[in-house]
Amino acid sequence: MAARMDLDGRPIKPMTICMIGAGGFIGSHLCEKLMAETPHKVLALDVYNDKIKHLLEPDSLPWAGRIEFHRINIKHDSRLEGLIKMADLTINLAAICTPADYNTRPLDTIYSNFIDALPVVKYCSENNKRLIHFSTCEVYGKTIGSFLPKDSPLLKDPAYYVLKEDTSPCIFGSIEKQRWSYACAKQLIERLIYAEGAENGLDFTIVRPFNWIGPRMDFIPGIDGPSEGVPRVLACFSNNLLRREPLKLVDGGQSQRTFVYIKDAIEAVLLMI
């Protein structure tokens, strides 16, 4: 394995990473990358390990001893702070982040994305540990263009469809539109992390994924998720293709999405690390 260099060209020192949500779609690919291309050790925390089993067994794997799986639900496990203390860096990937859940399980969505993340932020801040927290592009809300009348001449101006991190207003749906529970919870934990950095010196990085796609992506209804759920758009298309059904298009195909292949995204995350 060729030694990776940091952005200043220096060899990267091995570190211990506490990865919360390591058994999910993003976590499994990040674990693979860390094992194959870095000397880092990973404390992999999750309730399931199906997607990383190939990294944990057998003991003859070249990275044996550099990845440990800890079956933990961070809602109520006293081991969490100790594992964060053992690590140089904590990466929090844990979240309910499937559109099918936003409308049907808004309480679980808010708790998972805000309440359950509070101890992670607290332990990182109190123990001077760096945090990479995975948020979402949904914290940007809607574009101004999405509210313009259909006959408005402003619709042709691309400026009304651009979201700028530091200047765009944040436009969400009304309170009764429960699908915005996810975005609101994610934005509030971002504001709390930012405040911890400003007031208590927390060293943090926020990641806001758009639609990351690729192997082990969640989920196809009735195959690896609930049959009645509405998954992410690529999983919707896959589901329709497998069942020989017409593809369901949002707004008749007018709705736009940005897609990033998981391997490219993980390379960017490794640079952050």
Name the residue with higher pLDDT: 34 or 236: 34
Q: Are residues 154 and 234 in the same domain?
A: no
Task: Give me the pLDDT at residue 48, please.
Answer: 93
Query: Domain range for residue 250?
Result: 215-256
Q: Are residues 119 and 249 in the same domain?
A: no
Task: Give me the pLDDT at residue 242, please.
Answer: 87
Half-sphere exposure of 176 (CA within 13 A, CB side): 0
Helix (H) or strand (E) holding 91: strand 89-92
Domain assignment present for residue 192? The answer is yes
Question: How much is the mean pLDDT over the chain?
Answer: 90
Task: Give me the pLDDT at residue 2, please.
Answer: 63
Band of residue 1 on the pLDDT scale cut at 50, 70, 90 = low
Half-sphere exposure of 65 (CA within 13 A, CB side): 3
Half-sphere exposure of 190 (CA within 13 A, CB side): 18
Q: Are residues 57 and 41 in the same domain?
A: yes
Helix (H) or strand (E) holding 34: helix 25-37
- Both tokens of 143, joined, read 């574009």
Active centre residues (catalytic): 182
Q: Are residues 241 and 135 in the same domain?
A: no
The C-alpha angle with vertex 210 and arms to 147 and 273, in degrees rounded to 5, equals 140
Task: Give me the pLDDT at residue 197, please.
Answer: 98
Domain assignment present for residue 88? The answer is yes
Name the residue with higher pLDDT: 57 or 228: 57
Task: Give me the pLDDT at residue 269, please.
Answer: 97
Task: Give me the pLDDT at residue 72, please.
Answer: 94
9, 34 Cβ separation under 8 angstroms: no
Band of residue 7 on the pLDDT scale cut at 50, 70, 90 = confident
Q: Are residues 108 and 177 in the same domain?
A: yes
Domain assignment present for residue 83? The answer is yes
The predicted model gives 192-211 an average pLDDT of 96
Instruction: Dihedral sign for Cα 125, 187, 99, 267, please.
Output: negative
Domain assignment present for residue 1? The answer is no
Task: Give me the pLDDT at residue 89, please.
Answer: 98
Instruction: Strand 67-71: give its sheet, edge to edge.
Output: 67-71, 41-46, 16-20, 89-92, 130-134, 204-207
- C-alpha span between 111 and 185 (Å, rounded): 8
Whether residue 224 is predicted with pLDDT greater than 90 in this model: the reply is no
The predicted model gives 47-71 an average pLDDT of 93
Task: Give me the pLDDT at residue 79, please.
Answer: 95
The predicted model gives 216-223 an average pLDDT of 76
Q: Are residues 103 and 144 in the same domain?
A: yes
- Tens-digit pLDDT profile for residues 93-115: 998 877 767 778 899 999 999 99
- Tens-digit pLDDT profile for residues 125-178: 999 999 999 999 999 998 888 888 989 999 889 888 888 888 888 889 888 988
- Tens-digit pLDDT profile for residues 71-87: 999 988 899 999 999 99
Q: Are residues 136 and 227 in the same domain?
A: no
Band of residue 232 on the pLDDT scale cut at 50, 70, 90 = confident
Task: Give me the pLDDT at residue 26, please.
Answer: 96
Task: Give me the pLDDT at residue 143, please.
Answer: 87
Number of domains the chain is built from: 2
Task: Give me the pLDDT at residue 4, please.
Answer: 74
